[in-house]
């Protein structure tokens, strides 16, 4: 049976067909438009001082060409310059409570003659506080890492040896107040104290402030402080009004706490359930 398949056109005949010419023209136009849009128009969007060559270089992957250096802000100041070096530990170990007592006379007006504040809602009790905590706060007030016009003026003239003596003196005094108010505390609050809340990135409070004081050096004891004072400090951390916590531990935790949780934790550590209704 004879084949009726038309013969294939010669190469020259194929090239002369008009649809091939039009198809080639369309492809060339699309390619050109794509290049213009992809290499020039899109990279140049929202730019001032448009540089077509720079835009094309960036689109081709030439890093950094024609890009202004980023406007980097100055590095943030450290939360505290207290370093727990062997020198600092030696300073505290050699501190004199007696010298600290002699230097503590100006402190009595706010923190009491025996480290028990007459206005604990405003000024913390210092009696029985860890020497590392007192030393760190004094130094932070001196450098401005912690803000207080009163305390800055008190701390400015002190040498680090005098701060260590004051810290040793207050650490040697019998602590006031009572233990944390575990009796009657809500189960949810006790879980927060003992286990934290991993879902919110909250470490347990006792891991740093518990009786074993296993937290970082400079972590204060909270037991026996006034509930209003503790609650205000949590608010200050949450609002970044206080920012001398190393690595932003307390700021990160306080931002996750609800106002009710702040109040309940303050009451718990104050050891005074009667203050639970005082806001």
Q: Assign residue 262 the CATH number of its domain.
A: 1.10.760.10
Total structural domains within the chain: 2
If asked whether residues 162 and 202 sit together in one domain, one would say no
Q: Which domain holds residue 129?
A: 83-175
pLDDT of residue 185: 83
* Of 262 and 279, more confident: 262
Whether residue 165 is found in the same domain as residue 131? yes
Same domain assignment for residues 136 and 203? no
Q: How many CA atoms lie within 13 A of 48 on its CB side?
A: 1
Query: Could you tell me if 167 and 191 lie in one domain?
Result: no
237 part of a folded domain? yes
Phi, then psi, of 202 in degrees rounded to 5 = -105, 115
Look at residues 91, 175, 88 and name the one whose alpha carbon lies nearest to residue 128.
175
pLDDT confidence of residue 34 = 72
Question: Do 181 and 260 fall into the same domain?
Answer: yes
Q: Nearest 5°: CA angle at 16, between 12 and 19?
A: 135
DSSP state of 118: S
6-62: per-residue pLDDT in tens? 666 555 555 556 766 777 788 888 778 777 666 655 555 544 555 655 665 655 556
Taking residue 218's Cβ as centre, other Cβ atoms within 10 Å add up to 21
Dist. CA 201–CA 116, nearest whole Å: 34
Residues 113 and 157 in one domain: yes
User: Does one domain contain both 273 and 220?
Assistant: yes
For 154-191, the pLDDT digits (tens) are 999 999 999 999 999 999 999 876 677 777 788 999 99
Kindly tell me if the per-residue pLDDT of 235 is higher than 90.
Answer: yes
Residue 69 has pLDDT above 70, yes or no: no
CA distance 31 to 148: 67
């Amino acid at each position: 049976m004879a084949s009726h398949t038309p013969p294939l056109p010669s190469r020259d005949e194929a090239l002369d067909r008009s649809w091939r010419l039009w198809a080639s023209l369309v492809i060339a136009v699309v390619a050109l438009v794509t290049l213009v849009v992809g290499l020039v128009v899109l990279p140049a969007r929202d730019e001032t001082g448009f540089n077509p060559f720079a835009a094309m270089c960036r689109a081709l992957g030439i890093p950094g060409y024609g890009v202004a250096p980023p406007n980097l802000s100055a590095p943030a100041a450290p939360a505290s310059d207290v370093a727990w070096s062997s020198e600092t530990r030696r300073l505290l170990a050699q501190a004199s409570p007696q010298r600290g007592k002699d230097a503590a006379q100006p402190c009595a007006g706010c923190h009491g003659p025996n480290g028990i504040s007459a206005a604990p809602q405003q000024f913390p009790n210092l009696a029985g506080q860890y020497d590392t905590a007192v030393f760190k706060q004094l130094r932070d007030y001196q450098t401005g890492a912690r803000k207080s016009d009163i305390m800055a003026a008190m701390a400015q003239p002190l040498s680090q040896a005098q701060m260590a003596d004051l810290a040793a003196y207050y650490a040697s005094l019998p602590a006031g107040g009572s233990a944390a108010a575990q009796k009657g505390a809500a189960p949810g609050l006790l879980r927060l104290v003992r286990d934290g809340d991993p879902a919110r990135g909250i470490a347990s409070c006792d891991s740093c402030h518990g009786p074993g004081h296993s937290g970082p050096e400079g972590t204060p004891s909270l037991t026996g402080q006034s509930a209003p004072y503790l609650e205000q400090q949590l608010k200050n951390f949450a609002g970044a009004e206080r920012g001398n916590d190393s690595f932003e531990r307390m700021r990160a935790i306080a931002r996750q706490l609800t106002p009710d949780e702040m109040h309940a934790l303050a009451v718990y550590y104050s050891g005074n359930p009667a203050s639970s209704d005082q806001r």
